[in-house]
Amino acid sequence: MRGYRELAEELRRRINDGEFASGETLPRIVDLIDEYELSRQTVRDAIGVLADEGLVVTMGKGGTIVRNRARVRIPLNRYSRVLGPGGTRGPWETACHEQGLDGQMKVVHVARGEGPEDIAELLGVPASSELIHRRRYAMIGSDDIVQVQDVWYPSDLADEAGISGEGKVVGGVFGALTAAGHAPATASEQVDSRMPTPSEATQLKISGKVPVVAVQRLTKAADGRVLEVLRCTAPADRVQLTYDDLPLQ
């Protein structure tokens, strides 16, 4: 074993072979120093390479954790299956359920007030309008954050649909909007890839060198009114956005 690149390759092989499974902790740095007879800095540099590749997450005193890289398939038609009120799963939970995954949506922040000017413009309301901003985590299980979602609504619409409170909207927002007489009719998505901001990297528990997919979705009613603006980010190796059977004319 000559240096950190060789150690990184060896640890990468052990991870990919399943010796260290997702969620498990790698051997401590002192144990890797003894096992491979390398310096502390060499071991740290090797772990840094793996973190930059998205294979592990360094948790300080919590050690180095093998990162979950299971990919979640997210089909566009997940929206159409949750339009009816009275359901128990939203789009994320529906997509995960169909893949045998324990998808959960956790609301972490709700605020009422003026929003960013570009969001107001997308919603088609004056910049000084009162908006409802909801931040939520799309998760697998109780601690694996796959997406960070920020969503904005005109406050009058959110109040009418009962989605302005701090609790989770059971069955999803689309069902609540439909029940309030504002059925979503179209969803337009813009997908970009970029490097994460420091805040995004912290929330998603990734290195700042792991690319993310950034999605902006505008949801409109049949009359063209924008009901919702959603922006979400996810590690690029965790999601597969699929757009099946789109009309070509």
The pLDDT of residue 148? 97
DSSP per-residue codes, 46-70:
HHHHHHHTTSEEE-GGG-EEEPP-P
CATH code (residue 41): 1.10.10.10
Please, which residues have CB within 8 angstroms of residue 127's CB and are 6 or more apart in sequence?
114, 117, 120, 121
Domain hosting residue 12, numbered range: 4-66
Q: How confident is the chain (249 residues) per 10-residue block, as mean pLDDT?
A: 89 95 94 94 96 92 90 80 68 88 94 96 97 96 94 97 91 89 92 96 93 96 96 96 79
Q: Into how many domains does the chain fold?
A: 2
Alpha carbons 233 and 93: distance in angstroms, whole number: 17
Q: Are residues 50 and 95 in the same domain?
A: no
The pLDDT of residue 163? 95
Q: Are residues 207 and 119 in the same domain?
A: yes
The pLDDT of residue 80? 65
The pLDDT of residue 86? 67
Q: Are residues 110 and 217 in the same domain?
A: yes
Q: Are residues 59 and 137 in the same domain?
A: no
Is residue 209 included in any domain, yes or no?
yes
Alpha helices, H only, 22-166: 29-36, 40-52, 91-97, 117-123, 155-161
Is residue 249 included in any domain, yes or no?
no
What are the C-alpha distances in Å from 66 to residues 23, 137, 187?
A: 5, 21, 36
CATH code (residue 92): 3.40.1410.10
Q: Are residues 42 and 94 in the same domain?
A: no
Model confidence pTM above 0.85? yes
Q: Are residues 83 and 193 in the same domain?
A: yes
Q: Are residues 162 and 98 in the same domain?
A: yes
- Final residue in a domain of this structure, among 66, 97, 118: 66
Is residue 26 included in any domain, yes or no?
yes
Q: Are residues 38 and 148 in the same domain?
A: no
- How would you classify the pairing of strands 144-154 and 130-140? antiparallel
Q: Are residues 182 and 134 in the same domain?
A: yes
Q: Are residues 78 and 56 in the same domain?
A: no
Match 């997406």 to its residue by tokens.
Answer: 147
Alpha carbons 32 and 48: distance in angstroms, whole number: 14
Please, what is the angle between helix 29-36 and helix 40-52, to 10°? 110
The pLDDT of residue 82? 54
Q: Are residues 76 and 24 in the same domain?
A: no
- Final residue in a domain of this structure, among 47, 66, 85: 66
The pLDDT of residue 83? 58
